[in-house]
Amino acid sequence: MVVCLSNNYYVCTGCALLCDDIEVELEGSSLVKVHSACRKGVARMKGCETPLECAVNGKSTDTDTAIKEAARILSNAENPLIFGHGNSSSQAQRKAIAIARKTGAYLDDTSSFCQGPIIEAILQGKLRTCTLDEVKDRADVIVFWGADPSSSHPRHMSRYSYFPRGKERQRGWEEDRTAICIDVRKSDTAEICGNNGTYIIPPGEDAEFMDALVSGLSNKVPKTSFDFDKKRILELTNILKKAKFGVIFAGLGLVYSLKDLEPLFALMDKLNSVSSFHLIPMVGQYNMRGSNHNIFEETGYVNRVKFGTEVLHGPEYSVVEALKEKAVDAALIIGSDPLSSLPLSVARYLTEIPLITIDPCQTLTSSKSDVTIPCALAGVESGGTAIRMDGVEVEMKKIIETDRLSDEEILTRILEAL
Ligand code: SF4
């Protein structure tokens, strides 16, 4: 068998960094080697250990029959739920929105319990942001707040945020960049930032630490109810004040700690009155940000919507509340595994209603589904576009052929069958 190195660069869909410098080796029509990607990316691009089977009520069937059954379930439901989207192309997401509109469904995605509020604030112009390419070329002070890219986005620091030499940062991390880590534990990223650059704060105290930084930036004495060396807070505010191009990478640790975004808005306002700061959310799934952009474009909200004669929005339309209140009577799950990721007490209700899963791989949710429809693996077996964590659109190319339909094609056919 001839092994050939592709002449093209491809996009990895292992996380929302969407690395676009991936090379692959093909043996016939199989992908045998992936170059440049991290281990997480290689695992993703090599495909599922156990691909999903096309089935209705546990019996193998053909795609047409499964699509017809999925459409029947959604048509018969009064309040279906359509959930997932973070691992779907933007084209598929737009089809899912069209299905939700047609069926009067609850529509939500994983950002509902992670980065949604931050992305919404960025889209509404309430938080100043920038691109990863600008970070690479210009950023001199980089703050990882409640974020551990060394583990979650393994090539983040080497491609963009810390190690590379950029246009205005030719002397690299050794002299041109200062990396700060604010977290509740000494993460792998904290190890890179070193003891001087690491600020360990108690869990849940991020808002108070932000208030202390705002005080320091305002030349006041910073106060915290927890024991923290004021001198270190003042040292940090001095670094932040001197930033020519600063960026905060907001991780899940930060998002989960804040009750609302007011302390973050106050800190960003203060930072931008004394220096220049931007914020980028550390989005996990490869196109979760795309889902927020697409739903926002259609409805003015990034998630948690219910279609009907008008579009309703609010916490009561979130996947968690919809399942807790048993407000939905069927569910279509696309590229997500809520039975694994949501608390069992909430997710268990999914097993009591007609459940459809579209995914390349078998998951716990697919194992409990009435209808399972396998789709092509995005970025490998199908193309499309996705939105990177910094809001930049990236085009994904198909690498190998498959007889499985893309998620966009499956959703288009469900939409037509409704
Ligand atoms: S950092 Fe993310 S996008 Fe880049 S190769 Fe690793 S998993 Fe893929």
**pLDDT tens profile 323-365:** 999 999 999 999 999 999 999 999 999 999 999 999 999 999 9
* Residue 46 neighbours by CB distance under 10 Å: 17
CA of 19 to the centre of ligand 1 (A): 6
The answer, yes or no, to whether residue 1 has pLDDT greater than 90, is no
The pLDDT confidence band at residue 6, using thresholds 50, 70 and 90, is low
Residue of 11, 39, 150, 155 to mutate, ligand 1, most atoms within 8 A of C-beta: 155
Domain with CATH 3.40.228.10 in the chain: 116-281
% of the chain surpassing 70 pLDDT: 98
CA of 15 to the centre of ligand 1 (A): 5
* Atom of ligand 1 minimally distant from the CA of 156: 1
CA of 405 to the centre of ligand 1 (A): 24
Q: Shortest CA distance to 70 belongs to which of 321, 381, 339, 416?
A: 416
Q: Which CATH superfamily is domain 116-281 in?
A: Dimethylsulfoxide Reductase, domain 2 (3.40.228.10)
**pLDDT tens profile 65-110:** 999 999 999 999 999 999 999 999 999 999 999 999 999 999 999 9
Q: 28 vs 260, which has greater pLDDT?
A: 260
**pLDDT tens profile 236-279:** 999 999 999 999 999 999 999 999 999 999 999 999 999 999 99
- For β-strands 55-56 and 59-60, DSSP reports them as antiparallel
**pLDDT tens profile 35-75:** 999 999 999 999 888 999 999 999 999 999 999 999 999 99
pTM, two decimals, is 0.94
Nearest-CA residue for ligand 1 atom 4 is: 19
The answer, yes or no, to whether residue 2 has pLDDT greater than 50, is no
The pLDDT confidence band at residue 7, using thresholds 50, 70 and 90, is low
CA of 36 to the centre of ligand 1 (A): 9
- Helix extents (H) in 205-260: 206-217, 230-241, 252-257
Report residues whose beta carbon is within 6 angstroms of any ligand 1 atom: 12, 14-15, 17-19, 37-38, 40-41, 153-155
* Atom of ligand 1 minimally distant from the CA of 15: 2
Q: What is the 3-state secondary structure (H, E, C) of 114-131?
A: CCHHHHHHHHCCCCCCCC
What CATH number does the domain located at 50-113+286-417 have?
Answer: 3.40.50.740
**pLDDT tens profile 189-222:** 999 999 999 999 999 999 999 999 999 999 999 9
Domain with CATH 3.40.50.740 in the chain: 50-113+286-417
- For β-strands 198-200 and 178-183, DSSP reports them as parallel
Q: 76 vs 2, which has greater pLDDT?
A: 76
